Chain A
Amino acid sequence: MSSIDFATLLFTLLFITFWGIYKTRNQHGVNKFLKGSDMSWRTIGLSVMATQASAITFLSTPGLGFDKGMSFVQNYFGLPIAMIVVCLVFIPLYYKQKVYSAYQYLENRFDRKTRYLGSALFLIQRGLAAGITLYAPSIVLSHIFGWDLNIIVITVGLTVVVYTISGGTQAVFVTHRHQMTIILFGMILVFVLTAIAITDHVSVSEAFSIAGALDKMTIVNYDTNLNERYTIWTGLIGGFFLALSYFGTDQSQVQRYLGGKSAAQSQIGMIFNAIVKVPMQFGILLLGVMIFIFYLWTAPPTTFLPGDIDTSDPVVAEQIKQLETAYNEQRVSVDSYVEAMRSSNEEELLSTKSKLQTAHAQYLVAHSVLVEQVKEQHGLQNVKESDYVFLNFIQNQLPIGILGLLVAVIISAAMSSTASELNALSTISTVDFYQTFFPHHATKEHTILLSRIFTLFWGILAIAFALFATLLESLIEAVNIIGSLFYGSILGIFLTAFFLKFVRGSAVFIAAILAEAVVISLYVWSPSGIAYLWYNPIGCILVMIFAVTIQTATGSSKTNNHA
């Protein structure tokens, strides 16, 4: 990394951190510390986006576009509809009851044990996830720049802890605005520079046609096969339930819109997110596809993985030679295909398209052999090559200064997500646990002090988890899976609370546990592996069915509805 890049990176991160601390230095109100009140819709919209967009979004998503094409965008199709439901149902109820946490509502509606169940599931899930949010980008930056992994984790983690302790939710909002601005500016800049680089060879339309010929432009898939991971149905239905659960019941998001000047401001902030999110994901994936097109004319590295390949081995040298031959054949095929497109000769177009597809398939085979070699040589078996495509491209193909800005984008994204998580974990620990056990301690000063102590506690836990994560690779995967398995049931509890008003606390409590058991059993014993987004509607609907059945079977007509 050049000194200009490093200066850009350092300036960006230090500016955001000190700005966050400076702007919230004089606040002493519990409301502002825990909720961050008086936020405009712009701040809420950007903060909601900054919370959802973790660093790995900006590392992995372009890589996903590069590797698999555009189909992943379908996962977000359910999000705008979920935002409307959040605006119509969740936000008015939370505002009406003046809650600090989403789970406070569950006690008002059901009972305290249901509140503890919701909060405990959140603490377990988010407590571990915060560590991964720090670890995932740190390991990539460490591999690419050779920086010490522990130093990255501790520096980024402690910086977040310092400003979150200093200004609470208000500081998270202040920093989110700047972080998201830098993220959007950085990504748009790279998008434009990449588009300009491609148009040296082909027009935008020709670039899309080449990407389509090589199966990167299947954006919408109407296949009804349940095992197909990305289809319009998994996106609209599964994505809807996932987004509804995430934005409606996950405190790291709920806390963002509870800080609005009014319910109306929060609703507009969410509508802003509903309109912007799908095009943003489309743009990030398209950036990956454009990088793919770029490398059809500019020779890519042997692999995008970190670490040099040992060419002294004659077998490896021969494999590299085969890769170069395959690449050159692909290059000739691309040129022929472009010429055919320009001549508008249908027969020639079909013939050159078929040759291009064959040449690309041969290149992929030669490439995958070398990827396995590098993985074996450098002990990178658990690493996905596509995660390294984007940073490698920025590092080697774009002007000096952009790399520093993009690393700042990635670290900003890691910080913004971690800050929301620590902030939410601290609020839940304070409001849903400590204050319910020791209600007589709930003075203003005590609450703020306690919230700061909990932020420090969860911050240190996240840093520790990230430091030891290399030893626990399988645990990381487990944590991610657990997250997606629990979301449906939590949403089921909330939807039961909203719409099935005769159901009481004990019925929904047992229903949630039963539904979770069924979802986990399905995951463990499902023979062909249902696409993971389907677990969200399954968990949610099961909770509601079980809750109604148990309530009906126990026969009590007495309601406990304060909603």
Chain B
Amino acid sequence: MSDSGIDNDDNIEIPEGRARPWAKYYLIVVGVLVFQILLYTWMTHHFA
């Protein structure tokens, strides 16, 4: 708990000093987006 009262505890391991270590996170973002576009395209055709 910081002195501001905001709970900063965290379950994710953050490697200090590494600014861009998570290619897998970016892949998840792209994957989720592509999945949504495909799902919404299917919904558009299915419910048209």
Contact = CB atoms under 8 A, between A and B. Distances in A.
A451 interface: no
A232 B29 CA distance: 17
Nearest to A93: B19
Interface stretch (A151-159, A189-197, A209-217, A387-395): A209-217
A84 B29 contact: yes
Contact of B47 (A81, A212, A265): A212
Interface in B1-23: 2-10, 12, 14-16, 18-22
19 contacts: A38-B4, A38-B8, A41-B10, A43-B6, A43-B8, A81-B33, A92-B20, A173-B6, A208-B43, A208-B47, A211-B47, A212-B48, A219-B44, A220-B40, A263-B19, A264-B15, A267-B22, A274-B29, A275-B29
Contacts of B7: 40
Dominant secondary structure at the B interface = loop
Interface in A487-541: none
B25 to A, nearest CB: 5
Interface string A21-39: 0111011000010001011
Given A173-B6, A208-B43, 14 more contacts: A22-B5, A27-B3, A38-B6, A41-B12, A81-B30, A92-B19, A170-B4, A173-B4, A211-B47, A217-B43, A217-B44, A262-B14, A268-B12, A278-B33
A93 to B, nearest CB: 9
A301 interface: no
B44 A220 contact: yes
B37 A232 contact: yes
B3 to A, nearest CB: 7
A139 interface: no
A474 to B, nearest CB: 36
A77 interface: yes
Given A87-B26, A212-B48, A218-B48, A32 B20 contact: no
Given A91-B19, A217-B47, A80 B9 contact: no
Interface of A: 22-24, 26-27, 32, 36, 38-43, 70, 73, 77, 80-81, 83-84, 87-88, 91-92, 95-96, 170, 173-174, 177, 208-209, 211-212, 217-221, 232, 261-265, 267-268, 271, 274-275, 278-279, 282
Contacts of A73: 40
A84 B26 contact: yes
Contacts of A220: 37, 40-41, 44
A177 B6 contact: yes
B25 A271 contact: yes
Contact of B2 (A38, A81, A92, A262): A38
List of 6 A-B pairs having minimum Cβ-Cβ separation, nearest first: A212-B47, A23-B5, A219-B40, A92-B19, A264-B14, A217-B47
Contacts of B3: 26-27
A23 B30 CA distance: 37
Contacts of B2: 38
Contacts of A39: 6, 8
